[in-house]
Structure 1
């Protein structure tokens, strides 16, 4: 996986898989055009709402930023600290970000792809997120969401583990909802003639 290049060693790996009833080309096309605002569901919506509470409280006397009506990979890397670390078109896309995710109001840090592997600032961790599509037989695709967390020091690792104990079930729900959203679009797409 391309994700191995950016996170060969990690402190946490959480992967989810889904078998999609569509060929890999259609599935990757649906993956690459994913609109993150379409990902939802009871537990997922609760997770996003709860994660946003501290920031909403901090900014309660200020105008809240506009909530996007569309959020693709390209929108995400243009309007946030996330960066596309690499892509194997038709197969895998990898994103990354550094930050202090365990804090109530997350402190994010954008790290450019050419500096990402070596970034190891104390007090920060890195997230490597990979979405991939691999052929499964002649007409199906194995869709994978791989999330890896790398922590640079013991203090950050300790803080993160307390946080991870609480959030990992919600992350699994978000991963599953993401895969289902991609699959729904891939399976509904018209086959190319």
Structure 2
């Protein structure tokens, strides 16, 4: 299940306070995906942070290769060295990257990270910021992207896993550029989000089955 919006203003009203609302309460576009997982919230949260995002299938790998192609070409033309791609990438690895920053975490409940850049450019122009700098950043011509992953109890031993990506632009020119980009990229973004949730769901349910399985008795 999922939904996408492009709007002016803030997100939907909710009685539940979200860390994501503290860092990007107003946005131009949002995409939300949900998954009901047959595992408890603690297990699902651990699986969320530990899932290998590079193991989401051949289509996802192809999309990643296509998105990175302009940067690879630019590096070759400028004779800049390219670092080897990582063998594994997890949400827990976000603070170790140059482009993304961990904005906030409520352990066992919600994990929020973000980035600032000109995402519509073939070779993305990033701006490094910390959590405080992310909130205050307002230099014209950029967009701020905040991603929130959260888990909530859903009945007995089940979890509602949510993945939301919000984007806010800092000027009208950036908003126009992002709007054109988003109309093309949003279906692919939704697909990537759903694949990530499916990976997390499978990992969480496998872990839950492993911990609840009772050893068989020898006869």
TM-score, normalisation: structure 1: 0.94
Q: Residues 41 and 4 from structure 1, CA distance in 2 versus in 1: closer, same or farther, beyond 3 angstroms?
A: farther
Aligned residues: 192
Cα distance in structure 2, aligned partners of 1:17 and 1:83: 23
Which structure is richer in relative contact order (CA contacts within 8 A, separation 6 or more)?
1
Alignment pair present for 1:31 and 2:65: no
Q: Is the 8 A contact 1:41 1:177 kept in 2?
A: no
Structure 2, unmatched stretches of 5+, are 1-17, 214-219
1:123-157, Cα deviation, whole Å (9 max, x unpaired): 11100001111110011111111000010100000
Alignment pair present for 1:58 and 2:74: yes
Q: Return the index of the structure with the highest Cα Rg.
A: 2
Output aligned runs, 1:159-178, within 5 Å: 159-178=177-196
Equivalent position to 1:20, from 26, 37, 47: 37
Structure 1, unmatched stretches of 5+, are none
1:36-84, Cα deviation, whole Å (9 max, x unpaired): 2223342x22321211111121123544221001222343321322111
Runs of 4+ in 1 over 6 A off after TM superposition: none
Q: Residues 32 and 74 from structure 1, CA distance in 2 versus in 1: closer, same or farther, beyond 3 angstroms?
A: closer
